[in-house]
Structure 1
Amino acid sequence: MAEDPRDDSTTPLEGDTSPPDNSGHRGRLRKRLFEGGPDALLDHELVEYLLALAIPRRDTKPLAKALLLEFGGIAGLFTADAEAIARFPGMGEISTAAIKVPQAAALRLLRAQVAERPVLANWQALLDYLRADMAHHTIERVRVLHLNSKNMLIRDELMNEGSIDEAPVYVREVIRRAIDPGSAAIILVHNHPSGDPSPSRADIEITRAVAEAGKRLNIVVHDHVIIGAEGHTSLRAKGLI
């Protein structure tokens, strides 16, 4: 990811004789944020302020609006690959990092909420974490959540990733990796880049195959959760496993 010279806060835009003075506007954004909380700022204002931290001498509002349009909104922008953001005109390593840091912080917060209680008793927190992390990925990724005998999360493992509509799952590999940390139970998770979380026939068949293989080794498959931009599907809740 090459550094973009326009990302340098010491370099004004081409043709400028002096950098714009945005301190008053940004001060008003800060005041609204402090007094009104996160809902006090519009999506483009949040992105604008984040970019201003990286490139303070530029008016970042037009760039913020352009990024939101390009990536389909604030969720799509924050979850986009860093390389894709950095390729956008006017962006570079520093400003891309400013966009990605909030996502990293949010995921750590959500993950901490999952880890502090048994997963099955904290199901909504798990769904919030998975949706924040996976709902807007443009390729399919398969994860396995490993739980101990008290249903506490002990490992969150990316098993595989593939194309826009398929990532292979191998039953033997899933079970082998569950044996290594001594998992008592697992939850399968994958995303549908199409946005529709409805399970395919292959999703159902692989889930049943993993559950059958796990049963022989006393490893329980609690669920298979499919995440999409339009919501989620639990195969357990649908009675498919």
Structure 2
Amino acid sequence: MSGRIKENVSTAFLAVLLYRTGYDSLSIRSRKEKLTEGDVSQKKRQSYGIGHRKRLRERVLKSGASSLADYELLEAALFSVIPRRDTKPMAKALIEQMGGLSAVLEAGEDLLKEKGLSHRVSHLLQLPALLAQALTQPQQNVQTILQDTGAILAYLQKERGSASPLGKGWSVFYVNVRNALLLKEFIPDNGEWGKNIQKTLAVSMIRRAIFTHASAVIIAYDTNMWGKMPKTALQGHKILSEEIHNALKLFDITMHDYICLYEKKAGLEAYSMIEG
């Protein structure tokens, strides 16, 4: 694992622990109580403990884990499970006995128990290694890349095979700069759009694109019919595609393509309004 990843894991891990522990985990008696000489001494030690933990937390958040010595990293990690005791002696002793911070964090629960550590402490010390291991695992989420019209047709063909047809309407694909699919929505064409259809569609797409942080859209109009559309209908979609393109452009959103789909024996075919 790279040093940068280790640094990020350590910083995030310690920041969470220190935040959870808080500045005032060491309780101080009320000023209204009568304090003995021993109480005053105890109060000074507690005040120092609070200030020390606060300073350590600020160093982690400001400069990262590299600003701390190994024993300080371990000391800070122990704050959340040992809230009312100085953890520095334990941290130094563990590092000395086990040969370093890495050895402490990679030790199994049985070995940590042999060193006299409680369940809570031993479980805590195993967390950084588990987090680091998780970061090295490959990402499980596989993104759908829509690099061309063929990929769009394959996606829609697969969708049709696993669900009932959506009918006549627009399938709008919102993608990022790598053409990875962020969102796909279907807008039915119920014949009630009226004269402002281009404005209504454009506004809907702009809102969705901004919401998903999409850099581009791909529009596929499903004619829900066999064979190509009549030329007059294609001309209407040509005009519509140009108006939507111009509206999206005002918001720096690209329209990669506007295609009209139709069925053939071989499967879905597409006619591009951009390629013609």
What is the TM-score with the length of structure 2 in the denominator? 0.38
More helix, by proportion: 2
Structure with max Cα Rg: 2
What is the TM-score with the length of structure 1 in the denominator? 0.43
